[in-house]
Amino acid sequence: MRFLLIEDNVPLAGAVVDRLSLDGHVVDHAGDLETARDYVATTSYDMILLDIMLPDGDGSSFLTHLRLTENRTPTIVLTARSEVSDRISLLDLGADDYMVKPIDFAELEARCRAVLRRRGSSASSVLSLGAIRFDAASGVLHAGSEDIQLRTRELRLFEVLINAPGMIFSKPALVDRLFSYDEDVSENAIEVYVARLRKHLAGSDVTITTVRGLGYKLEQT
């Protein structure tokens, strides 16, 4: 999952980034609304965490604009207790949930999961193609008679591929999906992860096909 965290408190932001990264998510951090606008204009996120009090404006106006441009990215608003004058108005603006600072990380994770589930983005979290089944929540891949626990990076790659079987993903696009901007990674890393996934898929009726010069796609044989 790719998150956008909009938060001006640097230590707090760092902590959230660290925590979410542990779960294998990619997190981009924007310290103000201007940066945040640039991010959402160029990147597609699975979830936005939005602080309300920001140096260059009010987070709620950002949210309003976001929804007006038909961007339905699930959003959780982070707010100090004193700012919760009207929680209803936040939800009316298009927030999916809100949390009061100080943030409890376990609760944050739980609410993220809840919101994502409610939105049905990865609804039941179990995807299947051919004879394989993949539980995105637990990261377990059932191929043949084996149950394989995918590790975080493998998991994210597989998640991307199985969500659009048959579609070609170029290596630069995959690098973009798996790594955040400040991670400088060679495209060879993608090749390596494709190879590792292929080992897991060996013997099943699903393969990752190379389309030379274009990219990779997942398909049933």
Strand partners, 26: 2
Q: What angle do CA 77, 79, 85 make, to 5 degrees?
A: 105
Nearer to a copy of itself, 22 or 58 (CB): 58
Say which residue the tokens 């690098």 belong to.
Answer: 175
152-171 binders of DNA (CB under 7 A): 152-154, 171
> Angle 59-68/33-42 helices, nearest 10 degrees?
20
Contacts to a copy of itself from residues 63-122, by CB under 8 A: 64-65, 67-70, 72, 88, 91-96
101: partner contacted, choices a copy of itself, DNA, none (Cβ within 5-8 A by kind): none
Among 61, 166, 186, 202, binds a copy of itself (CB under 8 A): 166
The minimum distance between CB 177 and a copy of itself, in angstroms, equals 13
Beta carbon nearer to a copy of itself, 20 or 136: 136
Q: Residue 127 or 168: which CB sits closer to DNA? A: 168
Is there binding between residue 154 and a copy of itself (CB under 8 A)? Answer: no
Q: Which of 97, 139, 142, 99 is nearest to 122 (CA)?
A: 139
Under rule CB under 7 A, residue 19 binds DNA: no
How far is residue 47's CA from residue 43's CA, in Å, rounded to a whole number? 11
Give which of 49, 103, 105 is closest to 77, Cα–Cα: 49
For residues 4 and 20, the answer to whether their CB atoms sit within 8 Å is no
Count of other CB atoms within 10 angstroms of residue 2: 18
Query: Which residue, 19 or 210, is less far from a copy of itself as judged by CB?
Result: 210
Binding site for DNA (CB under 7 A): 24, 151-154, 171, 179, 183-189, 191-195, 198, 210, 212-215
